[in-house]
Amino acid sequence: MKKKRVAILISGRGSNMRALVEAARAPDYPAEISLVLSNRPQAAGLAWAKAQGLATALVDHKAHADREAFERAMQTTLEAHGTELVCLAGFMRLLTPWFVEKWQGRMLNIHPALLPLYRGLHTHERAIADGVKVHGCTVHFVVPEMDEGPIVEQETVRVRDDDTPDALAARVLEQENRIYPRALALVAGEQVVVRGNRVLMREGREPGAPTRAGRSPSS
Ligand code: GAR
């Protein structure tokens, strides 16, 4: 199967972008990273992607009159690079239904919590404050409602008694960096189908079953 052309959208550090880029170097990975796009000129991930020789683009939201103009500019850039799938990786702009619908079923996001718990920001602080024992991360298809949409992959992380939001965030991020490449492989490799709110393995295999490459227990 031909590799899918993937654009990664970032706003900052870009550790998830790096994880995807590194996974996509494997000859049998079903996706290639054809563009890294940032909405912020100073995003550290953008400099890293440039240094790797990847195609990069800056679409600065501040340089556009409104959200629609910004999204139209992103859309033009994505189309110019022959984008087939979009991965949001720490992309911190809300997207309009117009843009989301253009990429329906072809755009993934990673969120630092076990959705549908803890949508939005400050997920680690809120998890600790609530006293939950298990936290984690989610890769899901993007729908117009923020932090909703069919779940492709999740991983759990135990909350420790002495956890701080930063310590917990670091352990969750390690798992994010593992599940995002796995989720993208499932989608780009057309190994999954979406049925309503559920993402199911083709051929009746269960998501999370040990047939998936690279699975390991949560930390
Ligand atoms: C990640 O923890 C990601 O889950 C989160 O931003 C961080 C980006 O890190 N995304 C969101 O909160 C989106 N709502 P990274 O730039 O190192 O990938």
pLDDT (tens, 9 = 90+) of the chain, 219 residues, equals 899 999 999 999 999 999 999 999 999 999 999 999 999 999 999 999 999 999 999 999 999 999 999 999 999 999 999 999 999 999 999 999 999 999 999 999 999 999 999 999 999 999 999 999 999 999 999 999 999 999 999 999 999 999 999 999 999 999 999 999 999 999 999 999 999 999 999 975 555 555 444 444 444
The answer to whether residue 61 is catalytic is no
Q: Return all residues near 91 (Cβ < 8 A) that are at least 6 apart.
A: 9, 10, 11, 39, 109
Kindly report the number of other CB atoms within 10 A of residue 146's CB atom.
Answer: 13
Exposed / middle / buried, residue 195 (Cβ in 10 Å: 0-12, 13-18, 19+):
exposed
Which of the following is catalytic: 61, 64, 81, 111?
A: 111
| Confidence at residue 204, expressed as pLDDT on a 0 to 100 scale | 56
Fold match between 1-103 and 110-219? yes
- What CATH number does the domain located at 1-103 have? 3.40.50.170
Domain ranges of the chain: 1-103, 110-219
Domain with residues 110-219, CATH architecture: 3-Layer(aba) Sandwich (3.40)
Considering only CA atoms, which residue is closest to atom 2 of ligand 1? 112
Give the amino acid at 109: N
Q: Indicate if ligand 1 lies below 6 Å from the C-beta of 176.
A: yes
| Confidence at residue 219, expressed as pLDDT on a 0 to 100 scale | 46
pTM for this entry:
0.93
The side-by-side arrangement of strands in the sheet containing 56-58 is 56-58, 31-38, 4-10, 85-88, 107-111, 134-141, 151-158, 198-201, 192-195
CA of 167 to the centre of ligand 1 (A): 15
